[in-house]
C-alpha cells in the first residue's frame, strides 16, 4: 500500500469519527442549553452542571471540526496575490504553506499534551472531571489537522493545467 493511500485511509476513518463526535457535541449543546432554559423559565430552577457541560461540548465540537474545514478548504484564506501566480508556483506555495501549517499544528499538539498533563489534577467545579478535558479536543484536532496538512503538502491534488 502506498503512503498516500495509507494516509488517505487513516484520514477517512479519522474524519468519520470526528464527524460523528461533532454531530454528537452539537446535539448535546442544543439539548443541554434547551433543558437549562426550560428549567430556568418554566420551573424556576437550574442544573448546576449545565454551564460546564455545554462549554465542554462546545469546545469539543469546535476543535474536532477544524480538520474537516482544512480538508474541504473552507477556512478563510487570502489569495489575492497567490491567485496571480503561475500554476506551478501556486502549487509550490500551497505545498510550503501546508507544510508550515502542519508543523504549527504539531507544536499545538505537543503544547496541548504538556498543558493537559500539567492540569490533570485540577477538577471542574460542578462536574467531577479533570480540567484537562478541555485540552483533549485540541490534542486530537491538532493531530488530525497536521495529518490533513501533511497530506496536502506531500500529495497535493494536481490541477488540470499541471497534469
Q: What is the largest distance, in Å, between two alpha-carbon atoms of the chain?
A: 65
Secondary structure class of 47 (helix, strand, coil):
coil
Task: Please state the φ and ψ torsions of residue 47, each to the nearest 5 degrees.
Answer: -90, 130
Instruction: Kindly report the average pLDDT of the chain as a whole number.
Output: 90
Q: Which three cell numbers stand for residue 149?
A: 496538512
> Taking CA 46 as the corner, what is the angle to CA 42 and CA 48, rounded to the nearest 5 degrees?
170
Q: Picking from 19-28, 96-105, 153-162, which range would have the lowest pLDDT averaged per residue?
A: 153-162
Please state the separation of Cα 97 from the chain's center in Å. 18
| Burial class of residue 99 in the structure, from the number of CB atoms within 10 Å of its CB (0-12 exposed, 13-18 middle, 19+ buried) | middle
Across the range 113-136, mean pLDDT stands at 91
Q: How would residue 159 be classed by pLDDT, with cut points 50, 70 and 90?
A: low
- The string of pLDDT tens digits covering residues 17-70 is 999 999 999 999 999 999 999 998 988 888 888 989 999 999 999 999 999 999
Contact between 14 and 144 under an 8 Å Cβ cutoff? The reply is yes
The pLDDT of residue 160 is 54
Amino acid at each position: 500500500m502506498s503512503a498516500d493511500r495509507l494516509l488517505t485511509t487513516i484520514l477517512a476513518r479519522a474524519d468519520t469519527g470526528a464527524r460523528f463526535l461533532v454531530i454528537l457535541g452539537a446535539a448535546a449543546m442544543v439539548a443541554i442549553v434547551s433543558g437549562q432554559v426550560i428549567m430556568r423559565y418554566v420551573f424556576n430552577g437550574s442544573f448546576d452542571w449545565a454551564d460546564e457541560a455545554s462549554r465542554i461540548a462546545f469546545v469539543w465540537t469546535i476543535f474536532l471540526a477544524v480538520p474537516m474545514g482544512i480538508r474541504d478548504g473552507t477556512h478563510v484564506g487570502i489569495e489575492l496575490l497567490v491567485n496571480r501566480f503561475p500554476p506551478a508556483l501556486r502549487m509550490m506555495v500551497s505545498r510550503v504553506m501546508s507544510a508550515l501549517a502542519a508543523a504549527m499544528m504539531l507544536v499545538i499538539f505537543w503544547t496541548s499534551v504538556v498543558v493537559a498533563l500539567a492540569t490533570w489534577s485540577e477538577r471542574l467545579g460542578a462536574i467531577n472531571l479533570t480540567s484537562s478535558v478541555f485540552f483533549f479536543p485540541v490534542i486530537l484536532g491538532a493531530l488530525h489537522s497536521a495529518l490533513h496538512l501533511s497530506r496536502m503538502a506531500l500529495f497535493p491534488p494536481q490541477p488540470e493545467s499541471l497534469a
